[in-house]
Amino acid sequence: MLKELFEASFYKTFPKKEGAVLMLDERNVQGDFSLVDTNACHGCKYVCTESVEEREQLKVHGDKQVAIVSLDQIFSYVHENVGEISDYLLEGTDSVIVIEMTCSTSDYVKGKRVKSRSQLYNTLRLLYSNPNVKNHLENKQTRHVVFSWKETFADDEDLDSTESSMKGMVLMSDEVYSPDNESKFDFGFKLKEIRYPDVLVCQ
């Protein structure tokens, strides 16, 4: 459904690159699955390529079938520079979720959180520029934007005293963090934050 939605009219609002041939991918999954932002892995000094479990950045559960499209892929065909956008668009029976992911050391998460809000807003602004996509999103009963992050730490023996203190502070923040917390966002969406290995539920 999402594939057809974007292929039908999105590129009338945002013209394609010259000569580009549309080949959008859509994945449909039910139950438990995970997402990975491969762009976040480039240049990472933490080697986690030996297993899927180590590479996954966000755990998701779909009560019913969930459609998944890569926003990077959708916007990769656009001729103009649209700025930084988010990673995935998920659609359930009654919900839609725009996801911005990161896999980062604790000292970068705060900055990434601020940047992610800007990327999520820009992504929604662009999606809402197309009337068909806008109407489709607004017909969903629940609409969320999600900032998800997976903490990466060096082995304890590699941490200096400052890094060790930071790790402790991040772990203590679990006392106030909850994957159920949400706040108002733009365009009628609500913002959630999900820390790995907590599970994002798509209904």
Question: Is residue 119 within 8 Å of 102, Cβ to Cβ?
Answer: no
Distance in angstroms (rounded) separating the CA atoms of residues 42 and 180: 31
Per-residue model confidence (pLDDT) at position 172: 42
The model's pTM = 0.86
Query: Which pLDDT does position 56 carry in this prediction?
Result: 87
If you search the block for the tokens 């997402």, which residue do you land on? Answer: 35
pLDDT (0 to 100) of residue 157 = 46
Q: What is the pLDDT of residue 167?
A: 47
Tens digits of pLDDT across the chain (203 residues): 899 999 999 999 999 999 999 999 999 999 999 999 876 665 566 655 555 566 789 999 999 999 999 999 999 999 999 999 999 999 999 999 999 998 877 667 777 888 999 999 999 999 999 999 999 999 999 999 999 998 876 544 444 554 444 444 444 455 577 888 999 999 999 999 999 999 999 98
Q: Which two tokens stand for residue 57?
A: 């950045």
Compute the distance between CA of residue 32 and CA of residue 36 in angstroms, rounded to an integer.
14
Can you name the residues that pair with 100 across neighbouring β-strands? 147
- Calculate the CA dihedral of residues 97, 116, 161, 158 and round it to 10 degrees: 70
**Preceding peptide of 15 cis, ω within 30°:** no
Question: Looking at residue 5, what is its pLDDT?
Answer: 97
Burial 161-199 (b: 16+ CB within 10 A, else e): eebeebbeebeeeeeeeeeeeeeebebebebbbbbbeee
So where are the chain's domains? 26-154+189-202
- Give 128's DSSP letter: T
Handedness of CA 82, 149, 35, 67 (dihedral sign): negative
Tell me the C-alpha distance between 156 and 168, whole Å: 12
Tokens of 166: 């930071």
Q: Which pLDDT score is estimated for 151?
A: 83
User: Which residue spans within the chain are E strands per DSSP?
Assistant: 27-35, 58-70, 88-91, 95-104, 142-151, 182-184, 190-195, 199-202
Query: Are residues 148 and 99 in contact, defined by beta-carbon separation less than 8 angstroms?
Result: yes
Report the pLDDT value the prediction gives residue 85, as an integer from 0 to 100.
96
Q: How do beta strands 58-70 and 88-91 pair? A: antiparallel
